[in-house]
Amino acid sequence: MANSARIDRRSDWRVTAPALLLLAAGALYIADGASGRMAWLYLLGAALGLVLYHAAFGFASAWRVFIAEGRGEGLRAQMVMLGLASLLFFPLIDQGSFFGQPVGGGAVAPLGVSVAVGAAIFGVGMQLAGGCASGTLYTVGGGSTHMVFTLIFFMIGSVIGTAHMPWWIETASWGSISILREWGLFQALAAQLALLAAIAAFTLWVERRLRPAETGEATERRGESPGWRRFVSGPWPLLWGAVALAVLNAVTLVYAGHPWTISFGYTLWGGKLASAAGIDLSAWAFWTWPFPSRALAGSVFENSTSVMNFGVIIGALLAAGLAGRFNPAWRLPWRKVLAAAIGGLLMGYGARLAYGCNVGAYFSGVASGSLHGWLWFAAALGGSYLGNVLRPYFGLQGGFSRRAVPQAA
């Protein structure tokens, strides 16, 4: 019934109209100041933000409820998303172009200690903050005030991570390993889809074992008859979100030349603010490397990750207005704010070490056939377990007792 009530809400044009204005004005400003390509990427980011909000497609929450309660619907949606993305990514990367448009090699990064440690730290952080990198952006856009603290400290953690990054990349590593490159298109795709199906099947087994009476209930609640109003105002079934995110990431791969990434945008914003505060980043090795140094020297509207991040925020703002659910809370428990800040700090630092976050390393990495994406998933899942243990100390719901699986409220 909760979803039915949400569908019946009227759009709030006090929020929707300014969001549409920001989308149009932002696209025009970016096109004039940077390029038309960046303007289109800004709008693509907005589409991603709208999808994330309407589908409530969370990574942190999906992992939390599976670990603490045995509910696997969110994780299964992620496997669908990764499977479809793989079906789109693998042929594109293997071909190297799409109708004459060059396509890069995807999000492939070294497999090593840095990824494992960084992802584990990130996993702890996203459970304390109550959101991941993409979740931070779309919930801030949707009116979550406590996640503003997560965003700020995510930037701080990212900048601190750049100071230590040169040391971390010297730790043990097996280099960049792509199953697509090693095994070829069909064998790699078959192995990838088989593993995704096995994980989905495992979540079903756990769910049926721990919560037999509730299996399928969440899917049934989201299975209401779709229509134009539901498409515009939400909420969307998780499956809609999974499909839309996979397709939009493939569009990003073709149009931007790289898959969807998020965390470097936080790093760049933090670097810009640190420079404005008088910190000399030129003395830090990370900021002398070609890509970061060019990004720092240019505008935040000239970097594809940065403009897409701005787009995600505005797209989520638009979605919240269309759903009639933009309602910021101004009185926040101090422990929740502290958890949001610590979580953001950990996620920012961890993402730099791990060559990305839940989107750039996990989603785009796995979809690109990079083994570092799978290592990220395993390590972050372990970190999420620890984060769940810590949540009650900050007065947060979703922690669990080691003696029993909690029942739904």
The confidence score (pLDDT) of residue 362 equals 97
User: Could you give the CA distance from residue 224 to residue 328 in angstroms, rounded to a whole number?
Assistant: 28
**Chain centre distance of CA 337:** 21
Q: Which two tokens stand for residue 129?
A: 């903050």
User: Would you state the pLDDT for residue 407?
Assistant: 34
Question: For the chain, how far is it from start to end, CA to CA, in angstroms?
Answer: 15
d(CA 38, CA 26): 10
DSSP letters along 59-80, please? SHHHHHHHHHH---HHHHHHHH
Q: What is the dihedral of CA 314, 317, 318, 319, to 10 degrees?
A: 120
Q: Measured at the alpha carbon of residue 192, what is the angle toward residues 80 and 113, in degrees to the nearest 5?
A: 105
Contacts of 345 (CB under 8 A, 6+ apart): 125, 153, 154, 156, 157, 160
Nearest Cα to Cα of residue 54 among 204, 213, 237, 212: 237
Contact 140, 323 (CB under 8 A): no
Residue 273 and residue 162 in contact, taking contact as beta carbons nearer than 8 Å:
no
Could you tell me the pTM of the whole model? 0.91
Q: Digits of tens for pLDDT over the chain (409 positions)?
A: 334 334 456 788 999 999 999 999 999 999 999 999 999 999 999 999 999 999 999 899 999 999 998 999 999 999 999 999 999 999 999 998 888 888 888 999 999 999 999 999 999 999 999 999 999 999 999 999 989 999 999 999 999 999 999 999 999 999 999 999 999 999 999 999 999 999 999 999 999 888 776 654 444 444 444 567 788 888 999 999 999 999 999 999 999 999 999 999 999 999 999 999 999 998 899 999 999 999 999 999 999 999 999 999 999 999 999 999 888 888 889 999 999 999 999 999 999 999 999 999 999 999 999 999 999 999 999 999 999 999 999 988 765 544 333 333 2
Cα 6 to Cα 10, 54, 159, 190, distances in angstroms: 9, 11, 39, 40
Closest CA to 85 of 205, 254, 281: 254
Contact (CB, 8 A) for 207 and 200: no
